[in-house]
Structure formats: structure tokens, C-alpha cells
């Protein structure tokens, strides 16, 4: 028993080492591509990066060894009539690889569409949709991975290979999926742009430009360490989300409910409603100072919506019912927001929702026939949800312990968001959060409400969530 426990501990350490090597290998690529054309690294940083890339190369070699050692995760055992067990390729697991890459491209595409909602000159073509990412990178990558799987599964077992692979971690297929999703997300140009913009920002931003030699555009030691810290923080967040997304999809396929499924559903619904809420306030005008949206605005709003949706899943603790409530409430909010914006050029503010509690005042503005029809539709939908919940995704999402831990996590994540934006003009009262604090100080310093339609549009989105501010927050 003690020997088995030691083996598990050793394997966990090796898995952590694998994740560290994955970060070093991926970040070495990002460091080479994150700098704008006019910016360079200082000579000491350049030499440090060279050594870092060498470590990254050996790290990727170690990951290749892990891939070879765990070749059986792509196999399934089949019992023949002769009762002999043969190993065959499990194509369901293998075909999930290109599906992950295609799914991530769809996420990438959704970010492009959201960023260009207010871009009147945006046209749908190969370049604008960044199809080269799918055709020239992800498809070849999928082919290489599938080819590698085919090759390693035909490598015969040997004592020499077993001795060498003892230093490699044992993994499951979901660990490979997580690593793949983490890799494509971390290497995405949008991730590099977000990290650079929040860490250093535009030249004429109200935030402090942290380049050591500003006149020469050189990234020195202190700036590089700050950039390294931001990339590390981004990697940890992406890695954790990738793990829960993979587990959530597995739970969905198995018709089971758990925390991972709730989080994955919250992220997906947040992406959908983020797009429609912004589309309902579409303003076609000239480009803003920072582009058509502030860097990271969409991801930040997705984060806020995800926290809200997770709170609903936490309170109701029934997957089908909570999902229906989210769709009903935020679907109605999106429609009402679009109607008000089209007529008065302003959205529905959170402070205005209090009138919904006054039913007499509400019914005085609505035809009673429409109320009756709406009530009938709600009853039908409620009955449908109850019937479906008896067959699909039955049971509680989380236990009481899991709900308590989730509640603590939600509070910890939500508190700095609310605190920092309430004290937007008082930096001494803000909570220092990696990327978020820099995002507030750097990306938003020059965004004032000066009557520009695009700026005003951002103003409305900020006020919807946080109330009235003197400067833009999203």
C-alpha cells in the first residue's frame, strides 16, 4: 500500500514537471512574437531568453517522451471470439483532436466578430475571419498529431524504452486534450496582444509605460520579469479552464452533472449572451482610439457573465432548471435592451430593473392579452424543462461541500472586480490583481465620455454592470 502511494506521489510530481515544461516551451514561442516591430529586448534579456529557449527545447523533448510512453491511451482492448484480447485504435478519442482545434477556432472567430460589431467596414472574407489560422495551422497540426499517434502506437514495447520512460509521467487522454487546448489558446495572437496591451499599453496612455529605455523601445530586465509574470498568470488561468472544459464536455457526453459541466455551460452561455448584448447596442461609426473595442473587453465581460451564471447554477443546483432560468432571464434582458437602445439610444441599466418589482406599474404598460400569452408560454416551458430534467442531467450538480467551496471561489473572484471598479479613480483603494489591475490602469486611462458614439457605447456597457463612472471601465 505504501509502495502504491509513493508511485502516485511520484507520478503527480512528474505531471507537474510536465506542465512546467509545457509552459516553458510555449512561453519561449510567445516571447519571440509578443513584441511590436519597433520594440526589442535588451542584450542581457536576449541572452537569458536564449538559455530559456534551450530549456524549452529539452522540455518539449520530455513531453514527446511522455507522449510515447502513454501511447496506450489511444488504444482500446477488443475481445475476439477466441477470447484473445487485441488492441485497436480508439477513433473516438483520436477524432476528438481535430474537434478540439475546430472548436477553439470557433471561439477565436467569435472574438473576431465581437471585436468588429461596430466596424462598418468589416467584410467577411478569408483574411478578416482569420481562416489561415484554421487552414494553415490547425489542420496541419491535427494531421501531424494524428500521424504521430499512428506512429507511436506501432512502436513495440521494449525494456530499453521502459527504462527511459520511467522518468516520464503517466497521463490520461483528458490530460492530452487539456494540454492541446491550453497550447492553442496560450499561443493565440489574441492572448499575446492582451498580455502586452495590459502590461505596457499604448504610448500615450494615462498608464505608465514600463519600458526601461522608452526612447529606444527596449524591454529591460524589470519589464521582462513583469511580462513573464503576466504570461505565467495567463497560462495558469488557461490551463485550469482547459481542464474543467474537458471534464465538462466528458460529463455532457456521459449525461452526468458536476461542477465542470456547470462551469463549461456558464462559459458557453456567457459567450453567446456577450455577443447578443453587444450586438443589441451596435453603433456603426469610425474606429475608436484603441480600435473598435478596448483590448480584453469581451473576455472581461465573459468573465463577469460567467460568474453570474455560476452563481445561478450554485443557488438552484439543478442543471436543466438553472440553464432554463439563465436563458429566460438573459434572453429577455437582451431583447429588452435591444428595444430600448433602438428607441432611446441607451440600454437597460441595472438600477432601472427595480421597477420590475412593482407589478401594478409593470402591467399598466403591457396588454393583458400579451401577459396571458407570456404566462401560457412560461407554463409550457416550465413543464418541458421538468420533463426533460427527469431524463437528462438528473440529480444535484454539486454537494454541499462543493457548493460551499464554489461560493467562496465566486466571492473571491467577484470581490476585486467590484472593489476595483467602484474605486476606479482611487488606486490606493484597489486590490492588486495580475492583469486586471494593469488593465484598469493602462487600457482605460484615456477613454473619456466625449460624445463619440463608440465611446458612448462603451460607457453604456460599463454603466449596465457597474453604474456611472467618469471614465470607461470595460
| Spatial contact of 185 and 6, defined as CB atoms under 8 Å apart | no
DSSP single-letter state for residue 185: H
Burial tier of 38 (Cβ tally within 10 Å: 0-12, 13-18, 19+): exposed
DSSP letter at 204 equals: T
Average pLDDT, 10 consecutive residues per value, the chain (474 residues): 74 92 94 84 91 93 91 78 69 92 92 79 82 92 93 81 79 94 93 78 47 65 86 93 94 91 94 86 56 62 90 91 89 79 72 64 64 78 79 87 90 77 60 56 43 45 43 33
In eight-state DSSP terms, residue 429 is: G
- One DSSP character per residue, 261-297 reads HHHHHHHHHHHHHHHHHHHTT---BSPBTTBSS-TTH
Against a cut of 0.85, is the pTM above it? no
Contact of 184 with 108, CB cutoff 8 Å:
no
* pLDDT score at 217: 74
pLDDT at 446: 41
Long-range contacts of 273-276 (CB under 8 A, 24+ apart): 273/305, 273/330, 273/334, 274/114, 274/298, 274/301, 274/302, 274/305, 275/110, 275/113, 275/114, 275/117, 276/334
- At 126, list the grid cell: 478569408
Cα–Cα distance for residue pair 133/152, rounded to 1 Å: 27
What per-residue confidence (pLDDT) applies to 367?
64
Q: Give the cell for residue 220.
A: 529591460
> How many Å apart are CA 169 and CA 59, to the nearest integer?
13
Cβ atoms of 134 and 102 within 8 Å: the answer is: yes
Residue ranges of domains in the chain = 271-474
Q: Contact at 8 Å (CB) between 472 and 447?
A: yes
Separation between Cα atoms, residue 301 and residue 224, nearest integer Å: 28
SS3 367: coil
Query: What per-residue confidence (pLDDT) applies to 269?
Result: 93
Q: Which three cell numbers stand for residue 313?
A: 447554477
Angle between helix 297-316 and 453-466 (nearest 10): 20
For 288, residues 6+ apart whose C-beta sits below 8 A from its C-beta are 294, 447, 452, 454, 455, 458
Is residue 23 helix, strand or coil?
helix
pLDDT for 10: 84
Q: What share of the chain is helix, strand, coil (3-state, %, to 5)?
A: 70, 5, 25
Distances (CA, A) of 271 to 46, 210, 241, 268, 377: 39, 32, 14, 5, 26
**H or E stretch covering 460:** helix 453-466
What is the distance between the alpha carbons of residues 179 and 195, in angstroms, rounded to a whole number?
Answer: 20
Spatial distance between the Cα atoms of 143 and 125, rounded to a whole number of angstroms: 25
What the block records as the C-alpha cell of 282 is 451596435
**pLDDT (0 to 100) of residue 351:** 65
Please, are residues 66 and 148 in contact by the beta-carbon 8 Å criterion?
A: no
How far apart, in whole angstroms, are the C-alpha atoms of residue 2 and residue 4? 5
431-451: string of b/e by CB count within 10 Å (b at 16+)?
eebbbbbbbbbbbbbbbebee
Cβ–Cβ contacts within 10 Å for residue 171, how many? 19
For residues 338 and 341, what is the distance between their CA atoms, to the nearest angstrom?
5
Residue ranges in 73-202 assigned as alpha helix (H) = 91-115, 131-132, 139-152, 159-165, 173-186, 189-199
Give the three cell numbers for residue 392: 437528462
Q: Using CA atoms, how far apart are residues 281 and 127, in angstroms rounded to an integer?
A: 26
Amino acid at each position: 500500500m505504501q509502495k502504491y502511494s509513493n508511485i502516485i506521489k511520484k507520478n503527480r510530481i512528474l505531471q507537474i514537471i510536465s506542465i512546467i515544461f509545457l509552459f516553458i516551451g510555449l512561453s519561449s514561442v510567445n516571447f519571440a512574437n509578443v513584441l511590436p516591430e519597433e520594440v526589442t529586448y535588451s542584450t542581457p534579456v536576449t541572452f537569458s531568453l536564449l538559455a530559456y529557449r534551450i530549456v524549452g527545447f529539452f522540455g518539449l523533448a520530455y513531453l514527446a517522451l511522455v507522449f510515447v510512453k502513454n501511447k496506450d491511451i489511444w488504444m482500446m482492448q477488443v475481445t475476439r471470439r477466441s477470447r484473445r484480447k487485441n488492441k485497436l485504435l480508439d477513433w473516438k478519442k483520436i477524432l476528438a483532436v481535430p474537434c478540439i482545434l475546430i472548436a477553439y477556432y470557433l471561439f477565436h472567430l467569435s472574438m473576431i466578430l465581437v471585436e468588429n460589431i461596430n466596424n462598418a467596414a468589416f467584410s467577411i472574407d478569408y483574411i478578416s475571419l482569420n481562416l489561415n489560422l484554421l487552414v494553415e495551422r490547425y489542420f496541419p497540426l491535427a494531421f501531424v498529431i494524428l500521424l504521430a499517434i499512428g506512429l507511436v502506437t506501432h512502436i513495440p514495447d521494449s525494456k530499453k524504452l521502459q527504462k527511459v520512460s520511467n522518468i516520464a509521467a503517466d497521463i490520461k487522454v483528458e490530460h492530452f486534450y487539456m494540454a492541446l487546448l491550453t497550447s492553442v489558446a496560450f499561443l493565440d495572437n489574441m492572448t499575446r496582444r492582451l498580455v502586452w496591451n495590459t502590461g505596457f499599453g499604448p504610448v500615450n496612455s494615462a498608464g505608465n509605460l514600463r519600458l526601461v529605455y522608452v526612447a529606444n523601445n527596449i524591454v529591460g530586465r524589470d519589464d521582462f520579469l513583469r511580462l513573464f509574470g503576466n504570461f505565467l498568470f495567463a497560462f495558469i488561468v488557461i490551463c485550469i479552464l482547459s481542464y474543467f472544459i474537458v471534464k465538462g464536455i466528458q460529463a455532457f457526453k456521459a449525461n452526468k452533472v458536476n461542477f465542470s459541466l456547470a462551469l463549461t455551460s456558464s462559459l458557453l452561455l456567457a459567450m453567446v449572451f456577450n455577443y447578443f448584448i453587444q450586438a443589441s447596442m451596435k453603433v456603426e461609426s469610425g474606429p475608436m482610439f484603441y480600435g473598435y473595442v478596448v483590448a480584453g473587453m469581451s473576455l472581461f465581460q465573459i468573465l463577469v457573465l460567467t460568474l453570474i451564471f455560476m452563481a445561478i447554477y450554485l443557488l438552484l443546483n439543478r442543471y436543466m432548471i438553472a440553464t432554463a432560468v439563465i436563458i429566460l432571464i438573459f434572453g429577455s434582458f437582451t431583447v429588452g435592451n435591444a428595444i430600448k437602445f433602438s428607441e432611446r439610444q441607451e440600454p437597460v441599466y441595472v438600477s432601472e430593473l427595480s421597477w420590475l418589482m412593482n407589478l401594478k406599474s409593470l402591467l399598466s404598460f403591457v396588454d393583458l392579452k400579451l401577459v396571458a400569452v407570456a404566462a401560457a408560454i412560461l407554463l409550457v416551458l416550465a413543464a418541458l424543462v421538468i420533463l426533460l430534467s427527469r431524463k437528462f442531467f438528473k440529480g444535484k450538480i454539486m454537494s454541499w461541500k462543493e457548493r460551499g467551496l464554489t461560493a467562496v471561489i465566486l466571492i473571491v473572484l467577484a470581490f476585486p472586480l467590484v472593489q476595483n471598479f467602484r474605486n476606479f479613480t482611487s488606486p490606493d483603494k484597489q486590490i492588486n490583481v495580475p492583469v486586471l489591475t494593469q488593465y484598469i490602469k493602462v487600457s482605460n486611462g484615456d477613454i473619456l465620455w466625449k460624445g463619440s458614439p463608440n465611446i458612448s457605447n462603451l460607457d453604456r456597457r460599463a454603466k449596465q454592470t457597474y453604474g456611472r463612472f467618469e471614465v470607461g471601465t470595460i
